[in-house]
Structures are given as C-alpha cells and as structure tokens.
A and B are shown apart, each in its own frame.
Chain A
C-alpha cells in the first residue's frame, strides 16, 4: 500500500439526511483539528428535515477542507466524495475534481435506491461508464455493518444507524487519524446505552480495519499538522462563537445577559448554545414570536441588562418597529441576523448576504443603527463582543450580521484569554442627582438610569422627545435637531473604532477587492494566489458598515478599480458608491452557496487582462 504525503485535501460527505452525515463530518472535523491541521468546513443541509428517503431532495452534505498549510475556505473542488447512496452521488458528482476519489456504499445503488432517486436501471452510474476517470472504491457498507453486528442485541434499524461509523473508520484509516476522539465522544453520548455504544465502536473499528486489509482504498495519505501561529487552539462554529461573544460581552460589562429569541434557521443554534449556559446567569427566553423576542430584550435592557435578540431575515422584518423603539429609547441592544437565502421564506438552509440594506435602512423614520459583520466562524466571537461594546458604550441598538455559511461552518480558533478582552464601561447615571434622561456627553451618548436607582425616575417612549428632558415634544425645530443629533451620535462611533486595515496587498494597486462578511475566506485565497503570481491586487475586509471607518474613503483612493464581491444582487456596493462617489464594480453570486475562490480569482484576472 502506498502512503503519500499531501498538503491539502477536500472531502465531501453525502448521504440521506437520516444517514448521520453531519455527525460523520463533525467527528472527522474535530479529529482533524486535534491532529493539528488547519481546516474549514461547510455543512449543506437539505431544506426538509425528513425529505423522502433516498431522494435528491433528501441529500445532506458536509464539506471539509484541511491541510498542512493555511486553509481559508471549505475548498472549491473536492478531492474525495463519500456517498451513501445513488442520490448523494448524482447530487454531488459535479463537486468532484477530475480524477478524484469516490468512496461509495454499494448497498445504496440497488434497484430500490435507483427508483427512490428517480432513475431507471439503465441510468445506474455503476454500469453506464459515467464514473470512468474517477478512482472508485466500492463497499457494501450496510451489509458489512450488519454482519459486524450479528451478535448485537440491537434491532436492524438501530444496527443500520451505525453505518456512518463504518465510513468514518474507513476515512480515519485513509488519512492516518486516530479513533481516540470519536471513541471518547461516543462514550459520552451513549453513556446510558452500552449496547448502542458497543455497536458504534465495533463498526467504527471494522471500517478502519476494512480499509487496512482490503485493497479497495486508493491509498493512504498523510496530512501533516499545519504551521499555524503558536498558541492553544480549539475547533469552533460561528453560532457557537457568537453565543460566547455575548456571554463575554455581559461579563466584560458587568451586566446580566438577557437573550430573547424565536427559533429560525440558521440562528437557532445561538439560542441552543446560550440556553446551556444558565450558570453564567444567562436568561434565555424563547418568545412567542420575533416581535415578543425583541420586545422582551428591550424590556430587559430598560431594566439594566444586556438585551440581545437573534433571528434571520424574516424575523428581522418583524422586529423592525421595535428596533425603531430601541433606537428612540437609546438603550443598548444587539440584534443578530444570521442571514439566509431570501426573499420571504426563500432558501432557509442556504446562505446569502442579502439583508444588508434591510439592516442599514429597514425601519420607518430616520433611524440609523450601527451595523457590524463577522467574516469567519471564529470571528463571530470578536464581532459579537464588539457589537455589545458599541451597544453599551454608545447606548444604541446594534446590528450584528452573520450568515448561514459561517454560522454553521467551523475552523480552528486560537481562542483568547478573558484577561485580554476589552472591558466595556456602561454609562450609568448616579442616583439622587439631577437627571436629564436625554442630556448627552461629547460622544452624544446619554446617561443610563435603571429602575431601582433612587431619585432618577423618568419616562421614556417612542414619541419624539424634547432635547435633554426627554419629555414628549411636537416642536418642529426640536424634531429636526433630534433627528440630526441621533444620526450624528451613530456617525461619531467612527471615532471609537479602528481604522480600516488592508488584509493583504499594497496601499496602491490596480485592484482593491472590498468585501464584508463571509466572503472573507474566498477573497483571501484568491488574492493570496494572485499576489504570489505578482499581480497588482489588494484586499480589505469590512467589519464596520455603519458607520464606515474614518479612513475608508482615503484608502479607496489608492486603487484604479474597486471590486465588491457579494452573495447578493449588490448591496454594499450601493452604500460605497453613495458615500464615496466611486465607480465600484460588483461581483455577485446569488445561488445560495458561498463564492469559490477561483470564481473571484478568474474575475480579477479578466479585469487585469482587460486593462
């Protein structure tokens, strides 16, 4: 058997949504992370949880790219495609590179599965030569799993549920990984079900040994640990990181965290994560709808807590009026939008960046709200923490934008220590002093008096307020002045955020690629390759969209062309053109999937060549 050392591998696992594909993917990811590889993952869920078995609609996928070099994206093309049935193969063969490896479960290619997938017998890819040119490893996963469990007391259905472990064991052998992490995981998961635990372990080992002894595999590979910066790492997913960012925001400000939310894909995992951490005094509240969720968070903030609410685009549409209220009240509040494909219910399980303008403009009246975005799974932590800082120190609702891609994606994270995190200082009023609720400091921020503070009783509300006193006022000059003041307050936040940095490239070049959010990895990979080829390109990635960093206009002047790739029909580009009057060009993809780095690279090459 040959053993080859490779720098980077992309594997795609695909099967029925009931095949345990996501678990297989996550286990391989965690083991790979512990092995010291850099990595990036991307789960691809079917829209229906229980789509009919064996159908194309029911295919669930999980992509991982890992390597001994830096990895910024889950990869454009796959080197290995692991498929549990014919539907999974048909749906994903286009992802596989020419000459790539296919590992397939023969039992998923029988008459029945062909029919379920909607194909005739003649279309069976095993016999129509369509797999020629790929390295195919075939095995009867279902049969082998059952054989391995003949002595088990489990029923056939339960036995069949172990078959993902066979595949996982097989892949572990192929890439020289230990089984330790998964064994530990299974022993925790099935603590109270020894029979299920035994069966899973047995099948996992059987898959590993099968790969070792049978000649089906196309070889064994070694992917050495990556040379990453020194430090202690863990694996992290975006929603998990965001949840931790909010807990950190509460700790660093000394406030209690109140989290109000109504379940919606792909934001629900933040609720699940926070609900687990009640020992951090997190008050998580599953409300009756999105309006109640944000309203409750506003109530909590009024009471002196850090109110946070998360949802996806449709939920933000419902929260609009309440965001306006929080803006008028000038209370801290973080609104999370884990974006998904729109409009309306759109593509709930797919990713998109199409809610940026909704965040920036989507309210009645003049109601600008700071907008912050996260660019990678681990970046969700610091972006969420920063959203908390701005909300609390500037007394304003803040939008935090993530999306399905980074929310569910994972990467290694050199996590920070709490002592290195910024401290956040709420602007509390002092009890028993003369209190004018809407008197402002030089940042135009008001003082915060919360119930329980003696002598500071006051009323707030959504009606226009008189300057300083906060009393209801219908005076026209006062209204204009207040509208301008509230806008200026948000603008001045620019003085309290870092200048925009270049991610790579020089201050002056032909092309600047200006990105925001989850396009980070794909842009970074493309630019890295182009710079290595000596091309005149640079990359800047925005975290702050409202307000923009003070130096952004100046920075844009250094380039002949500005290209703005977005997973939408062109939204940041409108803001940039509007504010800086530059002739920026969009690169837009609206397919529910992230950019591949080569799509960006090819686009830039065309532009450079056309010059």
Chain B
C-alpha cells in the first residue's frame, strides 16, 4: 500500500488490547496509530521495540514489525537493530521502571551515541505490571505496597538525567492532551538522532491522579507551561503570568507588572536554558511541556557506515581468501 493511503486503522492489529479500562496507555496507542500514516514510512519499515511492563505490551497492538523483549533492554536491542539497519524507523516503548531502573544504563548510552531512534517513555511514576510498587520516578514519601511507611528514595528527574547524558532531543507531553501528544510524536519522528519523549501517563489502578494537576481543567493552566520555540514563557488561566530569568534563577512574574519582551523566550537550541527548564520540577514553578531541547549531532549508525565506507575505500572490499592467507605463509611440498 502507498504510504499516503494509510489510515490509523491500518496500524491496529487483531489482538485484543489488554490494559485496564481507563489506563492512559490507550490514549497513547491511539495517538501513535493516528500519527503513523503521517510520517510517510511504509509499514514494513517501521519497528516497535519494547521492554517489559504494562506499557511494553504496546508492540502487540501495532501492525508493524515489533519485539516485546526483556526488562530494560529495548534501548540496547534497538541500538543493534539501528546499527545493522539504518534504513528502518525504530521506535522504543518503555516504562519508568523499564528505562530508568533496570534499563538506566542502556538508556544513557543510547542517548550519548545518538542512534536515530524514537523513545516513548511512559512515565506513570509506578510499577504497573508488578502491581504497584514505587518506581524511580515516584515522589519521596510515596506509600506503596513496598513502601508502607513512605518511599525514602529520592526520585529521578528523567529529563534532567537525559540532558546530562547529552541527549539531542528532549520533550515532554501527557496522555490527556492528544493534540499536543501528536505534535510531539511528529517532532520526535522528524528529529534525526535519539529523541526522548516523556509521556505522563495515568495508571488509574495503582497511581491514579499522579498528574491530575497538569491534566485537570481546574488546575491545568496554572500548573503547566507549554513551550514553543521563539515564544515567551507564558502561562495561567488568562495567560497572565510569565517566566523571567533573574541571572540563572527563573522567577514567575505577573504580566501586568512586566512586559512580554522582558520574559524568557524559549530557544530549543539553547542547552543551558534547556537544562534550567528540566529543573522546573517542584511545586513553585509550572511544569513545562513541549520540546525542551533539540540539537543536530552525528548519529552513531552514520559514523559507523562512514568508517565502513572508508575501510572499503582504503583496503578494497574484504576478500575472504586474502584474510585467510594473512601476510606470512609457507609451502609444504
């Protein structure tokens, strides 16, 4: 089928979707299936690779090539796939436990190598599949089955971690804002290099309402900040608040006191400011959504191919008999 004739339905499989009713994963699946026809890649050239977790069931529901692998290793598997097959569109599906606990090591190494793959990190701040233990993104003090007196782990700030690993594309969206999510999926796909998209995902069974502050009508506009390249940082019910930089310190200002041109203007290419944005992580500042950072940097698979081409150019295409013979031989008559 021609790629421009696909519809979202073409990306649905015949397998029954098995998440709990009301799970945020449904929305993500729907948006991904909606975006796929738009990326202009034939179905057979798309691969979804996941680890283990509720979220990692995802590939079973995508009518593309797919692998539901082992806990934490989707990033490493995708690295090998992309190294061997740079022509494919590779998507990694992972949970907060999968990517930041057991798979933390592979995640940071994938980011620094910058394989051209898209990571969708389903962050529900809980271990869903194993029925509700705290995860590396759960807040301190969280009471779960494994932390009856409250968690004493300090949580990861996933996007700050990824910036620290020199990620070339870092973005955040949420399950309850389909339109924004589709935009972010598009942007992830367009980015050449590893794109990391954190998706706030509600686990209504074990961690219901973790992100309600950002998704609920009543609080959303106060607590969220939608980033747009070249635009000032403005939020609030009536867009009446902005963010200003006081040295390196972001402060919330009221727009009736300061003018727009004094505000922080978002620049996706500015690493230092992106770092600061990832640190909007407490109660005092709104939580940013959108593309924090985007940078062009050589992808591992391209550098690898360049070395192969260079080796072929220097030594000629490998000849097995020459290799077997080596440089020193002798004859026995």
Which A residues are within 8 Å of any B CB, using their own CB?
A: 30, 33-34, 36, 181, 225, 228-236, 244, 247-248, 251, 256, 258, 260, 277-281, 283, 285, 287-289, 291-292, 295-300, 302-305, 307, 321-322, 324-325, 329, 414-418, 451-463, 471-472
**CB proximity of B322 to chain A, nearest CB, Å:** 10
Interface residue ranges of B293-310 to A (CB < 8 Å) = 304, 307-308, 310
**CB proximity of B304 to chain A, nearest CB, Å:** 6
Interface residue ranges of B268-322 to A (CB < 8 Å) = 304, 307-308, 310-312, 314-318, 320-321
Q: Does B325 contact A (CB under 8 A)?
A: yes
**CB proximity of A231 to chain B, nearest CB, Å:** 6
Contact partner of A233 (CB less than 8 A), chosen from B106, B109, B330, is B330
Specify the chain A residue showing the minimal Cβ separation from B87: A452
- Central interface residue in A30, A228, A321, by most chain B CB within 10 Å: A321
A305 and B84 contacting across the interface, CB-CB below 8 Å: yes
When distances are taken between beta carbons in the complex, the residues of chain A under 8 Å from B81 are 299-300, 302-303, 451
Given A277-B323, A279-B311, A303-B88, residue A285 in contact with residue B83 (CB < 8 A) = yes
Docked pose: A279 CA to B85 CA in angstroms: 17
Specify the chain A residue showing the minimal Cβ separation from B45: A452
Interface residue ranges of B57-98 to A (CB < 8 Å) = 59-60, 62-70, 73, 76-85, 87-88
B60 and A36 contacting across the interface, CB-CB below 8 Å: no
Docked pose: A376 CA to B318 CA in angstroms: 26
**CB proximity of A362 to chain B, nearest CB, Å:** 16
Dominant secondary structure of chain A at its interface with chain B:
mixed
In the complex, how many residue pairs between chain A and chain B have their CB atoms under 8 Å apart?
208
B80 and A260 contacting across the interface, CB-CB below 8 Å: yes
When distances are taken between beta carbons in the complex, the residues of chain A under 8 Å from B326 are 234-236, 415
Contact partner of B324 (CB less than 8 A), chosen from A296, A302, A325, A416, is A416
Contact partner of B76 (CB less than 8 A), chosen from A230, A287, A452, is A287
Docked pose: A460 CA to B67 CA in angstroms: 5
**How many chain B residues have a CB neighbour from A under 8 Å?**
60
When distances are taken between beta carbons in the complex, the residues of chain A under 8 Å from B312 are 278-279, 281
A247 and B320 contacting across the interface, CB-CB below 8 Å: yes
Given A299-B49, A451-B44, A452-B87, residue A251 in contact with residue B105 (CB < 8 A) = no
B329 and A279 contacting across the interface, CB-CB below 8 Å: no
Q: Does B241 contact A (CB under 8 A)?
A: no
Contact partner of A292 (CB less than 8 A), chosen from B79, B324, B328, B330, is B79
- Central interface residue in A244, A296, A298, by most chain B CB within 10 Å: A296
**CB proximity of B227 to chain A, nearest CB, Å:** 31
Q: Does B332 contact A (CB under 8 A)?
A: yes
Interface 0/1 of B192-226, CB less than 8 Å to A: 00000000000000000000000000000000000
Counting from the closest, the 5 A-B pairs by CB-CB distance are: A296-B80, A461-B68, A299-B80, A280-B318, A295-B76
Specify the chain B residue showing the minimal Cβ separation from A255: B84
B323 and A299 contacting across the interface, CB-CB below 8 Å: no
**CB proximity of B32 to chain A, nearest CB, Å:** 15
Q: Does B42 contact A (CB under 8 A)?
A: yes
Specify the chain B residue showing the minimal Cβ separation from A298: B77
Q: Does B43 contact A (CB under 8 A)?
A: yes
B83 and A279 contacting across the interface, CB-CB below 8 Å: no
Q: Does B331 contact A (CB under 8 A)?
A: yes
**CB proximity of A178 to chain B, nearest CB, Å:** 13
Given A258-B80, A291-B76, residue A229 in contact with residue B332 (CB < 8 A) = yes
Given A278-B308, A459-B13, residue A298 in contact with residue B324 (CB < 8 A) = no
- Central interface residue in B49, B83, B314, B321, by most chain A CB within 10 Å: B83
Docked pose: A236 CA to B327 CA in angstroms: 11
When distances are taken between beta carbons in the complex, the residues of chain B under 8 Å from A329 are 67
B321 and A296 contacting across the interface, CB-CB below 8 Å: no
